[in-house]
């Protein structure tokens, strides 16, 4: 039975139902009243009280749009549809919104109504999931933080933790206990439409950020934690053709060395759920890859939480991937491989078919019990069996939350180029601000804003400060966009205004997008923006280029001829203020690239490349030639490194390598520097990387202050995974360690 049939049945039997939802005081569900939830056998008690229909329902997640009346503002629940679905499908989870962010009042009305009908039908509490990927973005008035790529550029785990903690608080204020975040895939293919949602290209940086995010989301100390979801397991960020939801080819040893570790870090941090990637890996769709879903994720990594699919991915096994012949075989294959919950999300065939598979003995009830137990356990840990407080929680968008968003944006902004100290700008200069992102906050919010793709006008309905608005508070500013991303508007007027300025601030971007709509065929910045820059450059006035974009776009003449280049990523609701404050020196920039910024269309390479990648056509060593390297980022302070020393120059594989280096701020103002430790394996039985990030610390120093910075590096972590092996192995030999412009060698003995 599909949703259209259900709607017709409801319409034929529709009665006027008047329920004053907002005035009802709800009690704990009946099924929970029959047991002590503090007892050791609470899960067994819950499971024993559930029918097989209840259990299959727990494994089903539907789109909440199925129970909402269309095009209602504020939203309105279709009470009969909700009652019918819960009574006949016994579902355990809803997800998503109606295509836009809801107000707190709407969220609380929705959650309270759902709970009423859940209890009316004697079901256990329902688990609601949402994409809150950089804040509670689907709640109007909430704080929106920089996207994950920008967060990684801060290299500040404490701020990432705080942002995640606030995300949890503001989601819980909306009645939402589960978020589909963080993404822990590596961003090593910038054509990929979700590149901006990653923590960048490096495995070590991604591990550290993943732990900070999961720990913040699930921090019980604040009392309103949410369940995190590490996604998209595994290798999803490296599609062969750069397109979303397509084929990935990764050898097993590289998968284990680079792509699995961030998931392992999230699991060790206690992440409650993992979302499966929509891709096929080496020809096998992830949703039927029993080896990786069960043998590796469960048995090796020790994951005990909920394993959920992405949107309609079980159906796509036969529709898109074509590894099964029909929906029934797709469901059988996915559940047998280890899937706990299916994001269906808009049909009832999954529930009915899975139930039939169990009743027919093709899937055992024991297998269903495994998944149900994990789902119910997550609900218990999130407090869903407890009395829910539906009084509006006003703690969204608070000044303290905005401050964290501002700090995170400020520390993420990365100054890539600054010729002759163009930045910071003198506030007395006449500045012309132009470009599509100058006064349009949609470009700093990005996708997953108040709407999925982020370009809808609802995003601009809030009082979020743009770059121009903040600059106008600080200096003498004139504004005219001149162009859109792909369209000429009033260039001649803009050029006339620019000619009267002493400095031009050109704010460039790409239209926000994510997932399949974000598929592109070229990284080159739009011709409209490139031509506009060249015409401005002909005025022979210094140009500061600000890039608000979700991946590196090839800049060509812009990188060569701009006086300064600032990468702002997608900086969130406080990004406009933070960007302007960096431009005028209110903030000393400290962001560092979490990826390698390419120079050429087909020159995409990561920093941890092989030595052979550096061989150029003349057999020199200039083959690796990005626009800017991983870890690059300028400050208004001058930091110097000295006195690098190792605890000893010979270590065993089970030792800890102690690294000491002195950092000094020789500048005239307080600043922050990310001290990055790289280590190179000089000779190995498999081709070694030129270098690998092995540790980092973000250090703040006053002017003329110095500090001795200490690192402790586990020598075992310097190994690599051999083909056919499951863990790293450290070979004996010489290694080179580098920090800043300093280096030292050490020998590893067995």
Please give the positions annotated as active site.
310
SS3 592: coil
Q: Are 371 and 363 in contact (CB under 8 A)?
A: no
For residue 490, the Cα-to-chain-centroid distance in whole angstroms is 36
Contact (CB, 8 A) for 133 and 180? yes
Helix, strand or coil, per DSSP, at residue 714: strand
Measured distance CA(490)–CA(532) in Å, rounded: 11
**Among 413, 475, 421, CA closest to 155:** 413
In angstroms and rounded to an integer, the radius of gyration of the C-alpha atoms of the chain is 27
Residues 6+ apart with CB under 8 A from 121: 83, 86, 87, 90
CA–CA dist 398, 310 (Å, integer):
32
For residue 366, count other CB atoms closer than 10 A to its CB: 7
Phi and psi at residue 522, in whole multiples of 5°?
A: -150, 145
- Whether a cis peptide bond, with omega within 30° of 0, leads into 521 is no
Q: Taking a C-beta distance cutoff of 8 angstroms, is the pair 603, 609 a contact?
A: no
Q: Which residues of 224-236 are buried (b: 16+ CB within 10 A; e: fewer)?
A: bbbbbbbbbbbbb
Q: What single-letter DSSP state applies at residue 139?
A: B
Q: Which residues contact 177 (CB under 8 A, 6 or more apart)?
A: 127, 128, 171, 226, 227, 382, 383, 384
Q: What is the DSSP string of 460-473?
A: GGS-PPPHHHHHHH
H-type alpha helices, 182-326: 203-217, 252-254, 261-268, 290, 316-319
> Any idea which residue has 């469901």 for tokens?
331
CA distance linking residue 159 with residue 589, whole number of Å: 15
Closest CA to 658 of 645, 644, 642, 647: 647
Are the beta carbons of 506 and 546 closer than 8 angstroms?
yes
How far apart are the C-alpha atoms of 306 and 336, rounded to whole Å?
15
Sequence-ordered strand ranges (E) for 330-475: 342-343, 414-418, 430-434
Q: What is the DSSP letter of 276?
A: E
Q: How far apart are CA 689 and CA 612, in angstroms?
A: 10
Measured distance CA(312)–CA(523) in Å, rounded:
29
Euclidean distance between CA atoms 415 and 618, whole angstroms:
32
Per-residue DSSP letters for 636-686? SS-EEEEEEEES-SEEETTSEEEEEEEEEE-SSS-EEEEEEEEEEESS-SS
Query: Cα–chain-centroid distance for residue 188?
Result: 14
**Distance between start and end Cα atoms, the chain:** 64
For residue 661, CA distances in Å to 333, 533, 634, 736, 746 come to 54, 42, 20, 15, 15
**Distance from C-alpha of 281 to C-alpha of 284, rounded to nearest angstrom:** 5
- What is the layout of strands, in order, in the sheet containing 280-281? 247-248, 280-281, 284-285
Quick one: which of 415, 413, 422 has its CA closest to 563? 422
What's the DSSP call for residue 597? B
């Amino acid at each position: 039975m599909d949703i259209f049939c259900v709607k017709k049945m409801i319409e034929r039997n529709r009665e006027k139902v008047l329920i004053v939802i907002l005035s009802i005081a709800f009690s704990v569900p009946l099924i929970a009243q029959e047991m002590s939830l503090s007892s050791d056998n609470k899960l067994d008690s819950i499971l024993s009280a559930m029918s097989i229909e209840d259990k299959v329902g727990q494994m089903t997640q539907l789109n909440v749009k199925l129970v909402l009346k269309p095009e209602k503002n504020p939203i309105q629940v279709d009470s009969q549809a909700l009652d019918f679905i819960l009574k006949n499908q016994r579902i355990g989870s809803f997800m998503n919104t109606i295509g836009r962010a809801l107000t707190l009042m709407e969220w609380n009305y929705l959650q309270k109504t759902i709970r009423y009908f859940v209890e009316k039908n004697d079901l256990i509490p329902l688990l609601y999931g949402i994409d809150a990927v950089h804040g509670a973005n689907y709640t109007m008035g909430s704080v929106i933080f920089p996207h994950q790529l920008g967060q990684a550029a801060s290299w500040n785990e404490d701020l990432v933790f705080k942002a995640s903690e606030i995300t949890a608080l503001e989601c819980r204020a909306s009645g939402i206990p589960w978020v589909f975040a963080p993404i822990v895939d590596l961003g090593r293919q910038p054509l990929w439409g979700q590149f901006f949602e990653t923590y960048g290209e490096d495995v070590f940086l991604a591990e550290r950020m993943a732990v900070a995010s999961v720990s913040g989301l699930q921090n019980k100390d604040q009392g309103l934690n949410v369940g995190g979801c590490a996604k998209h397991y595994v290798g999803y960020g490296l599609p062969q053709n750069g397109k979303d939801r397509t084929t990935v080819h990764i050898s097993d040893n590289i998968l284990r060395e680079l792509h699995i570790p961030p998931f392992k870090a999230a699991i060790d941090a206690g992440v409650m759920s993992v979302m499966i990637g929509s891709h096929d890996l080496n020809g096998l769709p992830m949703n039927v890859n029993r080896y990786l879903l069960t043998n590796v994720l469960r048995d090796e990594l020790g994951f005990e939480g909920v394993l959920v699919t992405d949107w309609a991915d079980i159906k796509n096994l036969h529709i898109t991937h074509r590894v099964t012949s029909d929906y029934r075989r797709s469901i059988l294959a996915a559940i047998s491989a280890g899937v706990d919950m299916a994001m269906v999300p808009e049909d009832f065939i999954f529930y009915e078919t899975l139930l039939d598979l169990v009743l027919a003995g093709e899937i055992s009830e024991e297998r269903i019990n495994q998944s149900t137990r994990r789902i119910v356990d997550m609900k218990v840990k999130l407090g869903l069996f407890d009395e829910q407080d539906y009084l509006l929680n006003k703690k969204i968008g608070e000044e303290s939350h905005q401050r964290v968003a501002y700090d995170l944006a400020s520390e993420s902004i990365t100054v890539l180029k600054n010729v002759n100290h163009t930045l910071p700008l003198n506030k007395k200069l006449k500045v012309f601000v132009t470009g599509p992102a100058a006064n349009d906050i949609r470009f700093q919010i990005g996708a997953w804003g108040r709407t999925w793709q982020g370009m809808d006008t609802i995003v601009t309905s809030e009082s979020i400060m743009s770059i121009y608005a903040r600059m106008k508070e600080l200096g003498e500013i004139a504004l005219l966009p001149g162009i859109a991303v792909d369209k000429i508007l009033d260039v001649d007027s803009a050029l006339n205004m620019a000619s009267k300025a002493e400095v031009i601030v050109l704010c460039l971007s790409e239209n926000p997008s994510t997932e399949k709509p974000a598929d592109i065929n070229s990284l080159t910045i739009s011709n409209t923006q490139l031509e506009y820059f060249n015409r401005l450059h002909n005025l022979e006035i210094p140009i500061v280029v600000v890039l608000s974009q979700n991946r590196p776009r090839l800049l060509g003449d812009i990188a060569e001829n701009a006086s300064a280049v600032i990468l702002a990523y997608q900086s969130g609701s406080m990004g406009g203020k933070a960007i302007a404050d960096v431009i005028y020196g209110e903030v000393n920039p400290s962001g560092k690239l979490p990826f390698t910024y390419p120079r050429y269309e087909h020159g995409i390479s990561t920093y941890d490349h092989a030595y052979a990648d550096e061989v150029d056509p003349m057999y020199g060593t200039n083959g690796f030639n990005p626009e800017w390297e991983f870890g690059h980022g300028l400050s208004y302070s001058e930091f110097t490194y000295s006195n690098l020393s190792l605890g000893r120059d010979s270590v065993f594989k089970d030792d800890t390598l102690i690294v000491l280096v002195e950092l000094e701020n020789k500048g005239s103002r307080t600043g922050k520097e990310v001290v990055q430790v790289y280590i190179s394996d000089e000779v190995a039985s498999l081709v070694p990387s030129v270098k690998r990030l092995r540790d980092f610390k973000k250090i703040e120093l006053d002017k003329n202050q110095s500090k001795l910075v200490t690192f402790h590096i586990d020598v075992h972590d310097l190994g690599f995974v051999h083909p056919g092996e499951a863990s790293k192995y450290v070979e004996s030999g010489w290694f080179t360690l580098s920090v800043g412009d300093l280096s030292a060698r050490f020998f590893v003995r067995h």
